[in-house]
Amino acid sequence: MNTSTLDHRNVDVDVDVAIIGAGPSGAVAAAMLRKAGRSVRVLERQQFPRFSIGESLLPQSMAYLEEAGMLRAVVEAGFQYKNGARFVRRDETSAYDFRDKHSPGWGTTYQVERATFDDLLIRCAAAQGADVRFGHTVHAIETGERPALDVTDENGTPYRLQARFVLDASGFGRVLPRLLNLETPTGLPTRAALFTHVRDDMPLCAIDREKISVVVHPEHGDVWYWMIPLAGGRASVGCVAEGDFLQCAEDERESRLRSLIRQEPTLGAWFGDAPFLMPVRTIGGYSANVERLHGPGYALLGNAGEFLDPVFSSGVTIALRSAHLAARVLVRQLSGETVDWQVQYDDELRRGIDVFRAFVERWYSGELQAILFYPEQTPQIRRMVSAVLAGYAWDETNPFVRDAARRLDALYEVCKTNG
């Protein structure tokens, strides 16, 4: 319990569920809870629309957007269509079409400017009756059967919000992990990213705009780039590496990223001289974890609980899966049923996270790269790998979900022996 800075005045607001953060997980959770008839207040520190990274969705996400009543709005928004991923390493290329996969379900999705996408989702939630408050900051929490939050509004006026449950969807803000000292080591190296948007004047036939490109640095196998085509003549381009590799002064970020783009022949040909459309941004030390994703009166959604790495664009999928699972458990709890947050939420969510983790770790060790670029991939195994890359990391009919680490290691040995 954290009560050190709580304002112990009478409660100003009382709702069924308070949600911290209006990003995708908060919006989807709010919409699902409203569909179940629960009162919801969403507290968002920033004003929307606002920039966010994580622009390439995975097809698995579409099912959760549909469940939350947001699918039509997303489809009609004019985002860039996406059907797969293209991997590039020097003169090698390997493309995966997510429609050709082991798991049933969506095989296509979108690449989005998150400012527009996130704003769209939270406004869909508001249209379904969620009480959304922008510019409201959470300063403290009192946990328990009736948790309470100490909040200030956009004018700096303090108030106390009581709820039957709190969901932390604050993303990289990680409000409850910070207030309740929940952080635990991730086991992943500290990596960072430099990124921007560029003007994309490439002819339509020059690149496959319906796939994200993941490009390996020609000399450093653990350094990689993303290239995400967006609607409206823009593309998102970034470079990911351990922090020291990208270290530079703020006024050197643009030249550093420009140099990195030009070092890679494919990206250099596409965007070596393309105008940057916004200042180069950086994010570092983003991998995060907590010992438990729930506690007395609260649960953590998406990046507020755990974030692995951007290489397979799993962040939004994990966020939406967490919202889907948490909302379902919470609806049952608020209806008087006995629920088990550890089994029904924490363990269930981490099953898929651990699959993504196995893929991420082996990407950086080089094992997964050897698999993805192996020239004699069998169609059946290729569809299994494609399903995970498409976000279906909870489908245990897939051997590469059910036993991800062992299967990948065995497959790597085959590729190494026959390569």
The b-or-e profile of 188-218 (16+ CB within 10 A means b, else e) is beebbbbbbbbebebeeeebebebbbbbbbe
Lowest mean pLDDT among 21-30, 180-189, 305-314: 180-189
Residues of the chain with pLDDT > 90: what percent?
A: 84
Residues 6+ apart with CB under 8 A from 178: none
pLDDT, position 306 = 73
Confidence band (pLDDT; 50, 70, 90) for 6? very low
Phi, psi angle pair for 294, to nearest 5°: -155, 165
Are residue 177 and residue 195 in the same domain, yes or no?
no
Domain span at residue 400 reads: 370-418
Residue 200 located in a structural domain:
yes
What is the average pLDDT across 29-34?
98
How many domains does the structure of the chain reveal?
3
- Dump pLDDT digits (tens) for 372-395: 999 999 999 999 999 999 999 999
Judged against a pLDDT cut of 80, whether residue 133 lies above it is answered with: yes
Q: In a 10 Å sphere around its CB, with 0-12 CB exposed, 13-18 middle and 19+ buried, how is residue 63 labelled?
A: middle
Establish if 49 belongs to a structural domain. yes
pLDDT digits (tens, 9 = 90+) for 339-360: 999 999 999 999 999 999 999 9
Q: Which of 259-273, 287-301, 362-376 has the lowest mean pLDDT?
A: 287-301
272 and 247 in one domain?
A: yes
Domain match, 274 and 293 both: no
- In this predicted structure, the answer to whether residue 179 has a pLDDT above a threshold of 80 is yes
In the chain, % of residues over pLDDT 70:
95
Respond yes or no on whether the N-terminal peptide bond of residue 229 is cis (omega within 30° of 0).
no
Rounded distance between C-alpha atoms, residue 405 and residue 343, angstroms? 22
Q: Are residues 214 and 274 in the same domain?
A: yes
**CA 214 vs CA 143, 227, 235, 240: distances in Å:** 42, 7, 13, 11
Query: What's the pLDDT score for residue 309?
Result: 84
**pLDDT number for residue 4:** 33
Q: Is 28 left (phi over 0), alpha (psi -120 to 50) or beta?
A: alpha
**pLDDT per position as a tens digit, 361-374:** 999 999 999 999 99
pLDDT at 303: 86
Verify that 177 and 291 share a domain, yes or no.
yes
pLDDT at position 286 is 65
Mean pLDDT value across the chain = 93
pLDDT of residue 11: 66
Q: How many residues are listed for the chain in this entry?
A: 419
Contacts of 133 (CB under 8 A, 6+ apart): 41, 42, 43, 44, 153, 154
Question: Quick one: pLDDT band at residue 188, thresholds 50, 70, 90?
Answer: confident
- Which of 244, 259, 284 marks a domain boundary? 284
User: Which token pair is 201?
Assistant: 């004047």
- Tell me the residue type at 281: R
| Residue 186, pLDDT above cutoff 80 | no
pLDDT above 60 (res 2):
no
- Write the single-letter amino acid at 289: N
- Say which range, 70-74, 127-131, 375-379, has the weakest mean pLDDT: 375-379
Q: How far is CA 84 from CA 110, 296, 313, 390, in A?
A: 10, 40, 11, 8
Looking at the fold, whether 21 and 132 belong to one and the same domain comes out as yes
The mean per-residue pLDDT over the stretch 112-131 comes to: 98
CATH code of the domain covering residue 334: 3.50.50.60
